[in-house]
């Protein structure tokens, strides 16, 4: 996905860019990511005082492997994109003044794909879950506890309920607080 800086000059209203961007195989970097559809990039680019701003929304659908039960599931992924570029000056070749500042670029064309990829990678969940309440696999026999139950943990209290029980005891045992 290429952006021509030349097209932006003198157009204060900006230029709309709408393109599908197929990213490379991100699954090799993130093992919980099974597949990623082409990213739908809906961006607005505009130039002001020599700074080229590109902003918009990236939408795609990702297939993850649940980090608890290992089931694969597909989910939409939406990320906001915002980058600023500046033409590389002779004095500061390839150097970015600071992390927040515009990215120096040479030539008249910017390939946005690497920046889109970076934004998508940062938006990926660290530990994807098929459901926030996913019960996961039994650590003893490997049964998927969402679908089935096993006898391994019979009699053992779920630690979450244990905590709740403690809290309940403390609340009902207290003389009513100091409020
Ligand atoms: Zn799961
Ligand atoms: Zn089990």
Report how far ligand 2's centroid is from the alpha carbon of 48 (Å): 62
Give burial (CB, 10 Å; 0-12/13-18/19+) of 48.
Answer: exposed
Q: What is the 3-state secondary structure (H, E, C) of 119-142?
A: HHHHHCCCCCCCCCCCCCECCCCC
Task: Tell me: pLDDT of 127 over 60.
Answer: yes
Task: Tell me: pLDDT of 100 over 80.
Answer: no
- For the CA of 132, the nearest ligand: 1
- For the CA of 140, the nearest ligand: 2
Torsion of CA 28, 41, 125, 161, to 10 degrees: -140
Would you put residue 25 in left (φ > 0), alpha (ψ -120 to 50) or beta? beta
Q: What is the pTM of this model?
A: 0.75
Report how far ligand 1's centroid is from the alpha carbon of 26 (Å): 21
Going from N- to C-terminal start, the domains of the chain cover: 2-123
pLDDT band at 107 (very low <50, low <70, confident <90, very high): confident
More confident residue, 13 or 134: 134
- Residue 158's pLDDT is what? 61
Q: How much is the average pLDDT of 136-159?
A: 82
Question: What is the torsional sign of CA 119, 120, 123, 127?
Answer: negative
């Amino acid at each position: 996905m290429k952006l021509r800086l030349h097209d932006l000059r003198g157009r204060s209203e900006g230029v709309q860019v709408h393109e599908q961007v197929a990213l490379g195989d991100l699954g090799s970097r993130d093992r919980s990511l099974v597949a990623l559809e082409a990213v739908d990039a809906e961006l607005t680019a505009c130039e002001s005082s020599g700074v080229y701003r590109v902003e918009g929304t990236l939408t795609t659908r990702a297939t993850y492997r649940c980090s608890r039960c290992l089931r694969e599931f597909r989910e939409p992924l939406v990320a906001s994109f915002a980058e600023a570029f500046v033409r590389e000056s002779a004095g500061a070749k390839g150097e970015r003044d600071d992390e927040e500042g515009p990215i120096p670029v040479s030539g008249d064309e910017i390939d946005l794909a690497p920046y889109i990829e970076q934004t998508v990678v940062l938006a990926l969940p660290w530990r994807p879950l098929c459901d926030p309440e996913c019960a996961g696999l039994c650590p003893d026999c490997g049964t998927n506890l969402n679908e089935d139950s096993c006898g391994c943990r019979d009699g053992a209290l779920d630690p979450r309920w244990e905590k709740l029980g403690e809290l309940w005891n403390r609340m009902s045992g207290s003389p009513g607080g100091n409020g």
